[in-house]
Structure 1
Amino acid sequence: MQLPKLTPLQSRLLASAVATGLVIVLWICIEPRNLVYAAEVPIPEHAQSNEFVESIPPSLLNVPPIDLGEYTKEERSNGVYAPDFIYFDRSVVGRQAEEVEQLSNNKKAEVQASPGSTKYFRFKPGQTSGNSARTAPVDASEPENMSENNTDEEGAEEDGLEDELEKRQSGTRMWISANACRGPKPTITLITDDTPQLTLYVSTSSKVQKPGPDTPETTPIPFYSGFANFTLQTDSEVYMGISAPNLTTGWNGSWSYELVASTVGQYHNYANNSNFIFMVDTDSESALFITHNFTSSNSSEEVEKWKRNNPFTMFAFPVGNWSDMIGLEASYCALEQQFPTNNLKVNTSITTIFGGAVPVSQFHITGLEADKDYQGFLAVNGSDDQTMNLTDVGLVRAGGEVFKQFTWKTKADDSCQVIFNLDFCNSVAYAVPSSPEFKLDDDRLKKLYDDQAKAYYRNFSNALDQVACDTASTAQYSLARNCNDCRRDYKAWLCSVLIPRCKDWNANETFLQERNINARLEDGTVPHADNLTKEFNQTFRERFAYSRSRNPMVDQVIKPGPYKELLPCEDLCFDLVRSCPAQLGFACPNSPARELSYGRRNTTSLTCNFPGAVVDLSPLKSGVGFLALRAGTLVLMSLSAMVWVWI
């Protein structure tokens, strides 16, 4: 059937009717009652979960309640509009949520952190296959696992908790470690506090994927001097957060840090109970140190291996002024970054002179100031492509290891100078009498002492050659000692007495021997200027033991000022007499001459000098100690009638 033809007026009426109908349908579908203003919804003081929680997106259910204390009660009850929403923290509104960084196994993440911020990380131990540490027990000495147990719902069954604990204990062993490399700096010179510390948070619960200061279910792990570590055993994904505190008045800046999660072993390490180092000696501008034995083998192959790859390094900083290292002493990356700011130089080498030919690392620090305290740090430089297993240290991984810091003080004047690595007297490594003329010429000073010792030893060797050493036992001068023993003990004695061990004039230990007291001090004064009595002059000033050096060459060529000597140990003399033939005429002086020429060993402090004598800086010792690093018996020797006698 043909449709009726509409007039132009009818067509316009029909179009208007259709449009009106569509508007009505759209209006009904939208339901105007759903269009309300936020200001029209009053904020209840005690919101019931069934009224409001259902309308909150599930992703926000873990956000902690917001403190409404900044709004007045009247504002909350009257529904006054506020620019923040009740279920959003102010820090969340207006910015993008903090991202979560995925960590790779045993690879460090380098992070920058501003004050008041928290950075989040995650790691899945189960992604690593073939982990031999999978069933390793958690070390009881390490902190307990983070309190993911506390995230269980209230009223959870006790057997459920036990199942969860058993599951975690049978999982993969995981190590978390972090180093703060830089921190804020004080803007007020009076501040002496440590750098504000970061805090580590760890969670294995999927309900707490962003652990931090706002998640009470997790236990904070504060950084200690820039270092933090945590060990757990789990197969679930691990969530971490590192929070930077807000800065108080007088501080400015930010932090940088390294974080590593590993199933291989702890990446960063800090030895809080050992500094693993000995102090050999100091002078007015340098100091000499050696490590403990880090290997038990003295084979040539082992020595060469460590010479090619010396893993030890040392850092030093002045004590007394605030430095960028304060509060970061346990962090390897902080030491590495801050040490170049000092005008100090550390020469590192491997030496075998201190005992049994076992290699140890030696450090000579120069650029120090006289009569000043310094703080030192020994560290092992780790490597990404290897791990090192050191005696008494253990495995050191890629992040390295820092040992407990120690302090020392330089000498006050230039009458003593540290020398080492002599050609003949290779056991000499300590401060010897010197003068400003040799302060910047170590090689010249070493040559003077070493050449003199060589000449004396040559004469001795010629005399010993007159003795029948290589003969039948019935014709030998001793069945207990031979000529090789004599040569060894004579050399040890000769170098110890010919090259005196020098101490500052102002050192006050009673066992030190005053030398060269008639010379002038650096300030132009004469020692004991207040005592000019005849008795004192006869007892001290006119006696060789006080008015001169043990070695005449010291006064004639080197010309030091007054100094004190750490005398050679008397057992060196006794060993010489026992080891050498009687026809050479060696003898030790009797008292009181012996007390002016030799010292006696003490079990708690270094009271006399011998080859390999060092000062033990271990914090576990009750006081300053010493260690004889040379194998065998070491004894000091006196002079013989055949050679010369010093008093």
Structure 2
Amino acid sequence: MQLPKLTPLQSRLLASAIASSLVIVLWICFQPHNFVYAAEIPVPEFVQHSELEEPIPQALPNAPAIDVRGNILEGGIEGGAYEGGYVPDFEYFDRSLIGRQDEEVRNLTKDESKTVELSPNTTVFFIFEKGQKSKSTRSVVVDGLDELDEPSAENNSNGDAIREEASEGPDGELVKRQTLNRTVYISVNTCQQPAPSINLITSPPPQLSLHVSSTEQKPEKGKNNVASIDFIGGYANFTTNTTRDLYIGVSAPGLTDGWNGSWSFDLAASTDGYYHSYDNDSQYMYMIDTDSDSTLFVTYNLTSSNSSAAVSDWAEWINNFTMYAFPTGNWSDMTGLERSYCGLKNQFDTTNKIQVKSNITTQFGGEHPKALFNVQGLETNKTYTGFLAVGGNTQAMQLPLGLAKEDGEVTVRGGGQVFKQFSWTTKADDSCQVLFGLPFCSKVAYAVPSSTKFKTDDAGLIALYDTLASSYYENFTRSLDQIACETTSTAQYSLARNCTHCAEDYKAWLCSVVIPRCEDFTATDPWLQDRNIGMLFSNGSLPYAYNTTKEYNATRRDRLSYNQSRVPMIDEQIQPGPYKELLPCQDLCWDIVRSCPAQLGFACPNPPADQLTYGARDPDGKILMCNFPGAVVSLNQMRGGVEMVGVRTALVVTVAGLAILFGIM
């Protein structure tokens, strides 16, 4: 189509309009406030350069709104659910990018633990923010955090130090303000650790490390103003005073050849005391006795009160107490976790047939409540390592330290407490069996002569021993009833002792004599008495078969005290093999001579017969050299009032037809 022909005037008007338009466009483009300035855009802390170089993923359909820390906003971006923070108004950053900051720094709340998985050669970080109040006055300043504030002499009502600071106000004047100087307790347990991939590993597993700072937001070993603590036995703790936020890091080392796996740990911070605890000074536990497949343990007194209410209260708490047992070897599941409550709990494998039964008892001295543990399912002649642990609770639990320490109590908080480990070895044969819980001889709790036919029949063995002792005691009470016990003081047989004392001391002596304390025949302690040396072992061998000298025959083989048990019933019905007896303490005999009426004719054997019948206590009270009611292996308190050593006249006394067994030659 042919364009219309313009007149000269129209051509000039069109050229003028085009030129004017170009001038306007150029003027707009060259305005200064519209120039684009090249400036460095600060990258948010949660976005790394490597992430920006990666392709930006397409937004997920219907993706929820996410704040700067990666938290999902309930009301969405447009709903205004998030206030005071930056919310991206573009759709490209999904949670795979923005959510990573939540994994980098985690908040710790007072007395609330965090359990975290940790891979080799990695570190996780936490922050314990200021403002979480303390109830404790305890304070320990640890070297390594020089920038932390020292407490002042002034304290608030909670016992925390108050620190005054001066700063310049808006008008230039100095303004005072007070800040709270907290004592912060940080503790951590390793709950899981790498395992050896080959059987030849003998070294302990690699340990984690704890790092604390109030200035370095991502504390690691080697950085300035960072205190670093290596875990020991799966446990680390740290205490400091500060008015600031605390930054915490937990690092895992790399694994060498022969190790596989990762770690998990439980971390907590508190202003009242350590959430997790370990006591390296005391076992808080004593072994009573052991046999070939079980062992009996007892704790210290759980309270200084022996009232029935105190016993009842602790009976409800017994589930907080537990004991863990592991076979001792070059490397076992508990190695590297000896101080960690959650680590021991996780590693205790019930499939290894080890079972621990517990209850509250008052039978060991003073009638105070104690925790009793019966560990079953052990192997013959094997060494085990044990740990007493107390589980945590929402409320702190107080334990009296008793003989463990001289000051104060043990406070067990939510993370639990582990006490110092201990070891023991089971007996080598089945001639001894641990018994406890007898109806009459209730203070008997140790290994007694037994045999394979009673190995799984505790009730039957208890019935034999307890019935015999109670029948002897019944005969004794008939004789005691002939004494004028309830009479005036001038008519009583003693102003210091009475018939009640006589009955108590007789029962203690009777149960110790009728129910002997049994030891392995392989035991070498010189104060043990050989029994049944003429019997065969379970493998058919004969004790001392190699020794046929005349001297040996005269001193051992031909002596009844070596060839039979103290009580005929033991050999007739129980029929144990050769064993050794821990003899009753001689003061048990002296007690009944002192406490009972002379009409009953009690007396103790003279030397040398007494050496084959009774044992003497360790003068220092450290070794169990003879048996008495309530005796334990590591703690045997000396009984008082047993210094009447001159009363020794006869070997056997008959009371109302009862043969009182002071010993069999």
SS state of the match for residue 348, structure 2? helix
5 Å-filtered alignment, 1:43-122, equals 99-122=104-127
- Among 370, 388, 391, the residue aligned to 1:381: 391
Q: Counterpart of 1:608?
A: 626
- Among 190, 193, 196, the residue aligned to 2:203: 193
Distance 1:202-1:470 versus aligned 2 partners, 3 A rule? same
SS state of the match for residue 225, structure 2? coil
Structure 2, unpaired ranges of 5+: 1-7, 49-96, 150-162, 167-176, 402-408
SS state of the match for residue 514, structure 1? strand
Could you give the per-residue CA deviations for residues 17-55 of structure 1, whole angstroms, max 9, x where no partner exists? 689959985999568xx79xxxxxxxxxxxxxxxxxxx8
CA-CA distance at 1:144 after TM superposition: 3.4
CA distance in 2, matches of 1:363, 1:440: 18
CA distance in 2, matches of 1:4, 1:247: 91
Confirm whether residue 264 of structure 1 aligns to residue 272 of structure 2: yes
- Among 111, 135, 141, the residue aligned to 1:132: 135
Could you give the per-residue CA deviations for residues 140-160 of structure 1, whole angstroms, max 9, x where no partner exists? 6xx33634369xxxxxxxxxx
CA distance in 1, matches of 2:240, 2:43: 29
Confirm whether residue 318 of structure 1 aligns to residue 327 of structure 2: yes
**Kept after mapping to 2: 8 A contact 1:573/1:639:** no
CA distance in 2, matches of 1:426, 1:522: 31
**Kept after mapping to 2: 8 A contact 1:111/1:257:** yes
Give the AA of the match of 1:408: W
Q: Counterpart of 1:40?
A: none
CA distance in 1, matches of 2:99, 2:256: 24
Query: TM-score normalised to the size of structure 2?
Result: 0.78
Could you give the per-residue CA deviations for residues 511-548 of structure 1, whole angstroms, max 9, x where no partner exists? 10000000001221100101123442232122111000
Distance 1:169-1:452 versus aligned 2 partners, 3 A rule? farther
- Among 364, 367, 372, the residue aligned to 1:354: 364
5 Å-filtered alignment, 1:327-346, equals 327-341=336-350, 342-346=352-356
CA distance in 1, matches of 2:106, 2:644: 63
**Kept after mapping to 1: 8 A contact 2:396/2:412:** yes
5 Å-filtered alignment, 1:357-506, equals 357-384=367-394, 386-392=395-401, 393-506=409-522
Q: Counterpart of 1:223?
A: 231
CA-CA distance at 1:464 after TM superposition: 0.6
Give the AA of the match of 2:354: L
**Kept after mapping to 2: 8 A contact 1:520/1:527:** yes
Distance 1:169-1:321 versus aligned 2 partners, 3 A rule? farther
**Kept after mapping to 2: 8 A contact 1:137/1:169:** no
Could you give the per-residue CA deviations for residues 554-579 of structure 1, whole angstroms, max 9, x where no partner exists? 10000000000000010111111111
CA distance in 2, matches of 1:94, 1:246: 28
Structure 1, unpaired ranges of 5+: 36-54, 64-92, 151-160, 617-625
Could you give the per-residue CA deviations for residues 358-408 of structure 1, whole angstroms, max 9, x where no partner exists? 000000000000000000000111201x21111114221111110011000
Distance 1:253-1:58 versus aligned 2 partners, 3 A rule? same
Distance 1:439-1:258 versus aligned 2 partners, 3 A rule? same
**Kept after mapping to 1: 8 A contact 2:502/2:592:** yes
CA-CA distance at 1:174 after TM superposition: 1.4
Query: TM-score normalised to the size of structure 1?
Result: 0.80
Distance 1:101-1:634 versus aligned 2 partners, 3 A rule? farther
**Number of equivalent positions:** 563
CA distance in 2, matches of 1:171, 1:383: 27
CA-CA distance at 1:101 after TM superposition: 0.6
Distance 1:229-1:10 versus aligned 2 partners, 3 A rule? same
**Kept after mapping to 1: 8 A contact 2:144/2:226:** no
Could you give the per-residue CA deviations for residues 449-499 of structure 1, whole angstroms, max 9, x where no partner exists? 000000000000001101111111222111111100110000000000110
CA-CA distance at 1:214 after TM superposition: 5.4
CA-CA distance at 1:168 after TM superposition: 11
CA distance in 2, matches of 1:632, 1:345: 41
**Kept after mapping to 2: 8 A contact 1:587/1:641:** yes
Identical columns (%): 50
5 Å-filtered alignment, 1:568-607, equals 568-602=584-618, 603=620, 604-607=622-625
CA distance in 1, matches of 2:99, 2:23: 46
CA distance in 2, matches of 1:440, 1:635: 43
Distance 1:244-1:644 versus aligned 2 partners, 3 A rule? same
**Highest relative contact order (Cα 8 Å, sep 6+), 1 or 2?**
1
CA distance in 2, matches of 1:595, 1:480: 29
Q: Counterpart of 1:243?
A: 251
**Kept after mapping to 1: 8 A contact 2:135/2:271:** no
Confirm whether residue 252 of structure 1 aligns to residue 260 of structure 2: yes
CA-CA distance at 1:635 after TM superposition: 10
SS state of the match for residue 349, structure 1? strand
